[in-house]
Chains A and B, each alone.
Chain A
Amino acid sequence: MALRHGRGYAAVNYPTGMNLGGDPSQALVHATTMGGFVVTLSSVDLGQGLRTVVAQCAAETLGIPIENIIVDTADTDTGPHCMGTFASRGTHRVGNAVIMAAREARDVMLQVAADELEVDAEDLETDGTGFIRLKGSSEKKINISEVALAAHFRQGRTISGRGIFLKEPSTPVPETGEMDPDSCQAHACTVAEVEVDDETGVIEVLRLYNTYEIGRALNPAIATQQVEGGAWMGLSHALFESTEPYYPGSREHGPVDFTEYLMPGPADIPAQTSVFLERPADNGPFGAKGIGEMTANAPIPAIANAVYDAVGVRLTSMPFTPEKVLRGLDELRAGRAG
């Protein structure tokens, strides 16, 4: 009886956006009197950081500091339509809609600034610090706060913009399944290193190595949080979770709380080493692809394959409980005996 080590591999891709498309998101952008910019949405932030990434998209497009951006979401009385936060679509759909709305607002902002500075709007640029400048000149510039005040109180203009991103719906051909299901694909490869106790059947995941290709990491800290949380969820799915442990025999033992529904605690979390690759998607906001869901997937088969490497047991049903490992080991021994 021994602790046996194994390494397993898995590689996956994951579609961005609702399957078959047809899932629009809209955004409105408008300037307040003194140069705050409100991004109005009905999109939902699940805790993954959508508000923050959306503010980054707006600030980058408008060319102003992120501190000037307010994100207002999700109220159906004020926010334009969003299909919802799912299908790894938030950053992609909402980000694109925000960029479109911010571009329209930026055009007005530059026109207002041009009239104030008495130059052509095409000759202006933003500097990201809050000023709009005449290209090549260090003197000729105006703060966006002054621009907004001028728009509201002198020029009678709204600095505002509208945006929508829609991937038109695709209808599958029923005979062949021909369809256009996604906007782009993100990619991942995971290597899992495990230790399997061949006496108890307990699997411990020691280390996970991941490479994720995600188009563009708009916010590497938030992307990292997705990667590490997703791997945790994948590991949990692989080793722990089931709402019907005795299915189909009985539902009596279904869990009702977190003492019965087991998930990994701090001691169960493996060391993680990850790397991002970026291959920008031509239809993504600044090239971003959706990564939210993908990060939970590759660890599962990587762990299963590592268990095979360790003890020769092919786990074919999730979760990979100690019982399944022990039954597999019993079968192997019986095979040898026979």
Chain B
Amino acid sequence: MARLTPIDVAYFKGERAGDFDVIGSAVQRSDARGHVTGRTVFFEDMTLPEMTHVKIHRSTRHHALINRVDVSGALAVPGVLRVITHEDVPGNWYVVLRLIGVGPDDEPVLAEDRVLYRGEPIVAVVAETEDAAREGAARVVVDYTDLPAVLDVEEALADGAPIIKQAGTNHFVYEGHHCRRVRFGDVERGFAEADRIIEGVYGSSPIEHAPTEPTGCIVVPQGDGRLRIHSNTQAAFFTLDNTALILGVPPTSLRVVGGTVGGGFGGKVDVIVEPLACIAATLTGRPAKYVYSRAEEMQVSSPRAAERIYIKDGVMDDGRIVARKITLYVDAGAYSRHSPYGTTKAAAHMPGPYTIPNVHVDAYCVYTNRTPSSAMRGFGVTIGDFALESHMDRIARELNMDPLQLRLKNAYRDGDMKAHRKIASGTALVEVIQSAADLVGHDLPPEYRAMSSTERSEG
């Protein structure tokens, strides 16, 4: 019997119309039996004759010029078939978001004359066995000239910081602006009217998606000249389209087969392994497999971005928040990947589920010489929620006010204007707070108990 979270139907009674046969019932997950009996087929379960293996030689420097790359040692390893350099990649510069019109291309598939982070791929080695490929990659010799590295978001934006990006700034440019802005009301007037100002700064470390199954693919050349890509991508066409652009081939020459993934959490949205595996398969005419080792998954796959968030609130003594100013730095690492998108999402999420009349948000997508970060579950929101909700607790403590009452007092309701100027609808913050209070026996005074998301009656 499945363990079910109960549904409390007392809330939103009138809105839950609908009588269903299958919807709302605990149909067993179609892949559950296969997973627990080991019969589910993942891309790596395929065994193909003549399959080759791709491994990468990676930068050992945070930021350096590449003077010379010597691949002779790799080619001397028995079983090594080919060495792939940037010269073998037709569309070497890319940004995955170009498919939705975001530019500029800022990342090479394989480094050319410079590396911007430790772990950046420089040379790919294709070999008969995984061991030979690994050995070959280890024997590539790169001669570097180290450059000053920028490892902190605020240092990267400071005057005189070394500019690491080709575009000329260490931040993504949003329509001519140095950050994604949200402007609502008059935040300075709000601060002037407030009884007190409460400030805080919050931060996070990068974290790993830690999927059970590492990122990878197997590419199989077909009799008709097409490439069949078996991948654990989270987005089949996104991978196909980006791979076609990098390879400079018509999208019809590729086919992505996937659909079963051993955990993604956003880590399998970047298009990293497929292009090089396709090039390896094309150069050798044989199936090619490129899968991250666990160490690569943890060291060089895009983590969740580290963020730093400054919050300054103007608060009345009765608990109303009348102004909120947020400065948010997302550490994109060395390359854009999905970070410009995630930063806009972060800006759109502010100031959280609260109706505040004056809001000012500057959300910066900042480049540093750290591992490129990218999408992860809660992209653009998770760290913001940590900051916002920690700050709400801080406000409640300073006002000596009940933390749930503070939230209810400021909760957004249907019809409220959000800071990004969309009218709120379908809100339910009030009710989840009331319900959670019940779960732990937290008393709410009648006026807070009587609040509703559907109508604004002041508590």
Query: Residues of A at under 8 Å CB distance from B?
Result: 7-15, 19-20, 22, 42-47, 49, 51-52, 55-57, 59-60, 63, 66, 71, 73-77, 79, 81-87, 128, 169, 172, 174-182, 184-185, 187-191, 209-213, 215-224, 227, 233, 237, 241-245, 247-248, 251, 254-258, 261, 263, 273-282, 286-287, 289, 292-294, 296-298, 300-302, 304-305, 308, 314-319
Contacts and interface: CB of A to CB of B under 8 A. Distances in A.
A10 B238 CA distance: 35
Contacts, number: 417
Given A76-B256, A82-B236, A128 B393 contact: no
B75 interface: no
Interface stretch (B140-148, B314-322, B436-444): B436-444
Nearest to B16: A278
A47 B268 CA distance: 13
B176 interface: yes
Contacts of A218: 23-24
A7 B404 CA distance: 12
A210 B436 contact: yes
A185 B426 contact: yes
Q: Which of B24, B181, B303 has the most CB of A within 10 A?
A: B24
Interface of B: 2-9, 11-12, 15-16, 18, 20-31, 35, 100, 118, 151-152, 174-177, 180-184, 200-208, 210, 233-238, 240, 254-266, 269, 294-295, 298-299, 303, 306, 341, 344-345, 347-349, 352-353, 361, 370-371, 375, 377-383, 385-386, 388-390, 392-394, 397, 403-404, 407, 411-412, 419-422, 424-429, 431-433, 435-436, 439-440, 442, 453
12 contacts: A63-B21, A76-B236, A79-B236, A82-B235, A82-B237, A174-B175, A177-B180, A179-B420, A211-B433, A241-B208, A276-B5, A278-B11
Contact of A178 (B21, B404, B421): B421
A291 B436 CA distance: 17
A49 B164 CA distance: 42
Rank and list the top 4 A-B pairs by shortest CB-CB distance, nearest first: A84-B235, A177-B182, A301-B389, A74-B259
Prevailing SS type, chain A contact patch: loop
A275 B426 CA distance: 18
Contact of A176 (B5, B181, B236): B181
A44 B261 contact: yes
Nearest to A240: B207
Contacts of B429: 11, 13, 187, 189
A182 B127 CA distance: 46
Contacts of B361: 177
Contacts of B257: 74-77
A84 B30 contact: no
Contacts of B435: 189, 211, 275, 277
Contacts of A293: 377-379, 381-382
Contact of A87 (B263, B295, B348, B379): B379
A83 B235 contact: yes
Contact of B205 (A83, A188, A233, A247): A247
B427 A187 contact: yes
A251 B30 contact: no
B432 A176 contact: no
Contacts of B35: 47
Contacts of B30: 49, 51-52, 55, 71
Nearest to B380: A19
